[in-house]
Structure 1
Amino acid sequence: MGSMFTWGLEAFFPNNFRGIYQTFFPCLNRNSPQNLHAARILKLGHPVPNTHLLNLLIKSLSSSRNLPRALRLFRRTSAKPDVSTYNSLIRGLLKERMTREAVELWEEMKKRGQEFSPNIVTYTTIMGFLCKNGRVEKALNLFDEMRERGTEPDVVVYTVVISGFCDMGLVDKGLELFGEMGSRGVSPNVVTFSALIHGFCKAGRWKEATGLLSEMAEKGIKPDVFIYTSLIDALCKDGKGKQAMRMLGLMVEKGEEPNTTTYNVLINQLCKEGLIDDAVKFLEKMVQKGKSPDVVTYNTLITGLCEAEKINDAVKLLEEMLEGRRTCKPDARSFNTIIHGFCRRGNINQALNMYEMMAKRGYDCNSMTYTLLIGGLLKIQKASRARDLHKEMIRKGLEPNSFTYSTIINGFCNMGLVDVAEGYLREMKHRGISVDLFDYNALLDAMCRKRMMDRAMNLFHEMGDYCKPDVITFTTLIDGACRIGNFEHAKELLGDMLERGLSPDSITYGTWINRFAKSGQLEEAKKVFEQMITSGFSPDVVAYDTLFHGLRKKGEMGEIIDLLRHMAANNVALDFQVVSTILKCLTIDGDDSTILKYLPSFSKEMSKGDGLSCHELMNELHKSCPELQLQPA
């Protein structure tokens, strides 16, 4: 085969063909440094004698990402290019996102007449690029233009545009084009079906997705592992774990072997559902079937173990990977996941030990490693060590990102160190890192809790240059103003909030109720409570608890009972705090013993996790104190 190919090319070359061929031929091997070999041909001084060699050189340079050299060769060669030459260049240019140069070549093709007219490959290349970049409507325009110019789309062209629509969430438009294929006699292939099935899965339209599986069978097209995995993944993401397992069974039944990705998806779902033991068994089953778990598999399991509070098992698995007793070595994410698990539990010393082990084993600690450790240290108020790690991170050439700074700012805000937190906000801006709403809201909350309303308002006005305030921003400021007794300012902030098109949420209303009730303005608190219900929000248990306290101070027993009935009618779930408040509110003539004797039994019942509804509480109280007339309506 090789000699025939050599003979076929030899006719195109002048003397000394063998030297040129031996130099150029390795360019056809993807594993060779193609641009170097292609450059040698030109360096030898041989002119490019024909279109065939020109196309091989252009293809070689383009596929090896040496587009400037490919363009220079294209413009300077004496060999005549053809449509394939243009296609190779356009494909390479688009791959490198050199869109201006690609468009220039595209326009040039159309101007050079019929001989250089774009063919189906040209259109497919450009439409594929447009679809991948979310410009599917533009791709559809080219689809129509292609037809107008006399080129009928094939299955590849249809599939490219259908995939584009499905990736954009426009699965119905993709389905419309799919129907058109049939009417024009173009048979879909497995890739076409795969694009549509994936689109329906993303949209949660399982009936249509499984219907396409049946249609594939009718057409004699066998679903591949990617289609089944796509279905299984989508079912898992929608919380349909049992259906995903049934799909796996169907896959095996139809003779399609699951791959590592399929197993990874299912192991991840089992971990999310807290079925860690099942996930471990699934991993062992995977190995028994001859599949090699990859680092994604193990990282998924490590994450599941950490979230299930089985961090020691996660560490054991990591050690097995390090010792070569598993099918692959860990990566930085493996270590970071365990570090995060330790930090979340407040075990900072073990997290730091893991960090040291990571370095000793030759793994590079990345920005995430440092960010997790800094967050863990701040969580247990080890501010000095956290700042040292931040400096070490920069010293090692690792640039803190927005997540790093958000972690630091939030950590110091939780510690009440407003000046330090604000200093990091300024540093963040100085480094050119964008500050987001989360950072501002954290700092505003800390300032308001410290009663620094003037500073909070200055920061609020400053933040307008970087991001728009949200409901949380205004709720925080309203609470801050109420905290210092400035209810007029709080009302002004509410007005500003409404002018910006932001509506109060349940937390905003709850904040007003809490502050009015605590300041003795019970009538105002009751008005806000009614307004909250009118606006379609259901008061939570905290709002009720606040009102119960206010009504108790005023001695409003009738209103307390009415409020209790309102809770029962709305089936509000009770916690220990509000049960305690209710029982204290219902004491008769100052005699606590009549009703408060039930508090321990309620507390014991709720501590078991059984819960207690307001309706149940009223029934029990009515039995013990019928004079209160607490029988629910």
Structure 2
Amino acid sequence: MILKRTPNRFNQLHLPFQGIAHLCCSSFSVLPPYNFNPRRPKTDLQTHLQSLPEKPNCQFGEAITVFEAQVKSGDYNLAILAYKTMTHVGISPNYRTLNALLNCFLHTQKPQFAFGVLGLVLRQGYIPSMYLFNVMLKGLCKGGKVERAVELFHDMRRNGISPDIVSYNTLVSGLCKAKRLEYALGLRAEMAEADCQPNVVTYSTLMDGLCKVGRVDEAMALLDEMRGRGLDADVVVYSVLISGFCGKGSVDRGIEVFDDMTQKGILPNVVTYTCLVHGLCKMGRWEEVMGMFNGMAERGLSPDVVMYTTLIDGLCKDGRADQALKLLGLMIEKGQEPSTVTYNVLINGLCKEGLTDDAFVFFEKMIERGKMPDVVTYNSLMAGLCNSQKVDEAMELLNKMLGGDCNVKPDAMSFNMLIHGLCKEGRLIDAVELYRKMVKRGNVGNLVTYNMLIDGAFKIRKVDMATQFQQEMIDMGFRPNTFTYSILINGLCKMQMVDAAEKLLYEMKTRGLTPSLVDYNTLLSSLCKERNLDRVMTLFQEMKDGKCEPDVISFNTLIDGMCKAGDLQAAKGLLSDLLQRGLSPDTMTYSILINRFSKLGQLDEAKGLLERMIASGFSPDAVIYDSLLNGFSAKGETEEVINLLRQMAAKDVALDVGLISTILNCLCLATKSSDFAEFLPTFSNQAPKQMSISCHELLEKLHKSNSGLQLQAA
């Protein structure tokens, strides 16, 4: 509401309003022009308003009533049209009209015109009330114009207008949504100085802002501060904190807050339960989810569409699409109508499990129930089709969107989905053609688009095209990110262009980007293949100096490189370094070392590593046994060969053609029995690699042929 009219005109305003007036007039004082066109068809509203001045007694009140009716109906654009028509036919606005008009401009995201209205209020001599300023603050914050809201707020204070609790809370909310948390927290202190004490709304808003960025402990500290001021936390405050803890994965602390809440006699609502259920779903704690679900029923609360959607989403993400379908049926049975979001999470879940046919069934059901698919729906379906190698069907779906058959316009993600699918199939030319079509329609590609095109070019070994896309990306104003460099480094290494890849790694650093562990491991592997061990060790040291801690893969790469170069001492040193860093060798580590020691005849070392491997809980594979058998056989240690075979039989190791050949070669060298020699099969060169027989079965057959070898498994 606006207070009263004073005889002061705009240029005679009292000091408290001079700053506000300047703000309104500096750049926001112009109202949108009417642009009356007598030839343009008139609406019924325009006709009615234009007829009022023609009546014997100009119906000013009736015009205001018509205008305010449009405002109350929420049709703000029509209300603005009504105002324009009123002014065009000479009906002057009063303070109520201006107040309503200001609301209209804020609701239609036109804050510059709202300031213009405020300026008009001042020009006509009205003194704005605190309510009007709060409406302005709320409208600006809601429209994302937080800086303008801050400017207005400070002008109010500078001009002696004391903001009330609503003003502060409105600005705190806007700042929190804009992630300006330090400023918002600072206002809390200012409030106390201005003798406007923060209330529960202030604290809950600040807590919500902190929780949304993961600063939940600070939000808990505010709860203690709030209690110290004698304020009692309500269900909203507790729900905010529970949501914050669950959102960062601290579900147990969320449950503690829930228990504290109920012990204090504060009853949880559906929102509270939904926060907990969401957190428990992400952790896969389904028994507790059902416990919460039952707890709601005991308290007489019924799950709403958000709760059901949360559960369906959780089940789908946990690979339980079948249970999600049952829950959807229960939801409908209980009278809750699924929303578009509900169908979207279900369709997305089905697509991720490869059930695209089922996804399309629910797509049709969604339309039957009056829920119109949006771009998220279509993107989920296209992703499902691409992942099922049905890129052409996904393309048909995109063409329907482009043709306007489904009243949904594709976004950048829609095009990127198809470009990614085409690149995965090696159809780079089709991907480029689609990208050009995308640009032509005004959907300018983003960094993700170019990253996919570069990767697609490398997949078909087209370095020149990859380089071309990289340059085009830069020309478009996109700066390569870590993913871009990772794609380039990996692609160049696969093309054996290691020097160029290494140069890019250093370029990353100069641009302030940090190479990932994968980038280093890719380069280390390529340099090892080139036997350039000096550069390998230099890069390995730079990696450690750059605070990129090597992992087991890094060490395995280096150990393998040193072994192949014959430097076993360096390989042993790397193994010690690996252990000192608290890393555990994996199957690959042991396989590399055992294989190399066996080939060099250092069988005690190889055997010791095998024992350590088994003690660590790893099962040796066929490659390791093959290396050891060849090593012991070459040394003529028949007993060790027999012991290994027994061990293999006991573990029921599956034998491939190569290992069977090794076993038989070892046994041929261990016996001169003609009967045994006659038993040996002749293997075809075309024998499939996947052909296998268990070691136990082979030993049984060999024992029947030559019992003197004592080959039966223990």
Change (3 A) 1:83 1:592: farther
Q: How does 1:320-359 map to 2 (within 5 A)?
A: 320-359=400-439
CA contact (8 A) 2:411 2:443 kept: yes
Distance between the aligned counterparts of 2:343 and 2:694, measured in 1? 43
Residue 59 of structure 1: aligned partner: 138
Counterpart residue identity of residue 305, structure 2: V
Counterpart residue identity of residue 198, structure 1: H
Residue 188 of structure 2: aligned partner: 106
Distance between the aligned counterparts of 2:344 and 2:571, measured in 1? 52
Change (3 A) 1:452 1:103: same
Match of 1:519 among 582, 592, 600: 600
Residue 94 of structure 1: aligned partner: 176
- Residue 536, structure 1, aligned to residue 623, structure 2: no
Distance between the aligned counterparts of 2:697 and 2:234, measured in 1? 68
Shift of 1:402: 0.9
Residue 293 of structure 2: aligned partner: 213
- Residue 26, structure 1, aligned to residue 120, structure 2: no
Counterpart residue identity of residue 159, structure 2: T
Residue 479 of structure 1: aligned partner: 560
CA contact (8 A) 1:146 1:152 kept: yes
CA contact (8 A) 2:563 2:571 kept: yes
Secondary structure of the structure 1 residue equivalent to 2:553: helix
Distance between the aligned counterparts of 1:260 and 1:581, measured in 2? 62
- Residue 506, structure 1, aligned to residue 587, structure 2: yes
CA contact (8 A) 1:26 1:34 kept: no
Give unpaired runs (5+ residues) of structure 1: 1-8
Shift of 1:228: 1.2
CA contact (8 A) 1:229 1:261 kept: yes
The higher-RCO structure (CA 8 Å, 6+ apart) is 2
Change (3 A) 1:401 1:13: same
Change (3 A) 1:96 1:500: same
Secondary structure of the structure 2 residue equivalent to 1:508: helix
Change (3 A) 1:41 1:355: closer
Residue 114 of structure 2: aligned partner: 37
Q: Which moved more, 1:447-456 or 1:244-253?
A: 244-253
Distance between the aligned counterparts of 1:486 and 1:398, measured in 2? 45
Distance between the aligned counterparts of 1:27 and 1:542, measured in 2? 79
Shift of 1:516: 2.2
Q: Which moved more, 1:558-567 or 1:183-192?
A: 558-567
Change (3 A) 1:362 1:248: same
Residue 526 of structure 2: aligned partner: 446
Distance between the aligned counterparts of 2:600 and 2:262, measured in 1? 73
Distance between the aligned counterparts of 1:205 and 1:190, measured in 2? 19
Residue 249 of structure 1: aligned partner: 329
Distance between the aligned counterparts of 1:542 and 1:48, measured in 2? 89
Distance between the aligned counterparts of 1:212 and 1:259, measured in 2? 23
Change (3 A) 1:271 1:602: farther
> What TM-score, normalized to structure 2?
0.79
CA contact (8 A) 1:509 1:529 kept: yes
Q: How does 1:572-587 map to 2 (within 5 A)?
A: 572-575=653-656, 577-579=658-660, 581-587=662-668
Counterpart residue identity of residue 212, structure 2: K
Match of 1:81 among 163, 168, 181: 163
Task: Render the CA deviation track for 1:274-297: whole Å, top value 9, x for unaligned.
Answer: 333333333233333333222222
Distance between the aligned counterparts of 1:325 and 1:586, measured in 2? 72
Distance between the aligned counterparts of 1:508 and 1:436, measured in 2? 22
- Residue 490, structure 1, aligned to residue 490, structure 2: no
Distance between the aligned counterparts of 2:558 and 2:712, measured in 1? 42
Distance between the aligned counterparts of 2:421 and 2:709, measured in 1? 51
Match of 1:174 among 254, 276, 282: 254
Shift of 1:122: 1.0
Secondary structure of the structure 2 residue equivalent to 1:464: helix
Shift of 1:227: 0.9
- Residue 430, structure 1, aligned to residue 484, structure 2: no
Q: Which moved more, 1:549-558 or 1:170-179?
A: 549-558
Distance between the aligned counterparts of 2:161 and 2:342, measured in 1? 50
CA contact (8 A) 1:375 1:407 kept: yes
Shift of 1:616: 4.9
Counterpart residue identity of residue 314, structure 1: A
Change (3 A) 1:401 1:531: same
Shift of 1:449: 0.8
Counterpart residue identity of residue 70, structure 1: L
Distance between the aligned counterparts of 1:364 and 1:239, measured in 2? 35
Give unpaired runs (5+ residues) of structure 2: 10-91
Shift of 1:127: 1.4
CA contact (8 A) 1:48 1:77 kept: no
CA contact (8 A) 2:385 2:391 kept: yes
Residue 70 of structure 1: aligned partner: 152
Q: How does 1:582-593 map to 2 (within 5 A)?
A: 582-587=663-668
Counterpart residue identity of residue 170, structure 2: S
Q: How many residues align?
A: 619
CA contact (8 A) 1:584 1:596 kept: no
Shift of 1:254: 1.3
Task: Render the CA deviation track for 1:125-180: whole Å, top value 9, x for unaligned.
Answer: 11111222222222223223323322222221221122122223233333333334
Distance between the aligned counterparts of 1:304 and 1:596, measured in 2? 49
Secondary structure of the structure 1 residue equivalent to 2:478: coil
Task: Render the CA deviation track for 1:533-589: whole Å, top value 9, x for unaligned.
Answer: 223322233323333343444454543443233234334455555455445545575
Shift of 1:444: 1.0
CA contact (8 A) 2:3 2:128 kept: no
Shift of 1:21: 4.7
Shift of 1:23: 4.1
- Residue 632, structure 1, aligned to residue 686, structure 2: no
Distance between the aligned counterparts of 2:439 and 2:698, measured in 1? 57
Counterpart residue identity of residue 358, structure 2: D
Distance between the aligned counterparts of 2:576 and 2:308, measured in 1? 54
Change (3 A) 1:371 1:618: farther
Q: How does 1:265-414 map to 2 (within 5 A)?
A: 265-414=345-494
Match of 1:469 among 550, 562, 566: 550
Distance between the aligned counterparts of 2:511 and 2:450, measured in 1? 18
Task: Render the CA deviation track for 1:488-519: whole Å, top value 9, x for unaligned.
Answer: 22222223333333332222222212222333
CA contact (8 A) 1:233 1:265 kept: yes
Change (3 A) 1:271 1:179: same
Counterpart residue identity of residue 51, structure 1: M
Identity of aligned residues (%): 49
Counterpart residue identity of residue 213, structure 2: N
Shift of 1:39: 5.4
Residue 268 of structure 2: aligned partner: 188
Counterpart residue identity of residue 110, structure 2: P
Residue 31 of structure 2: aligned partner: none
Residue 5 of structure 1: aligned partner: none
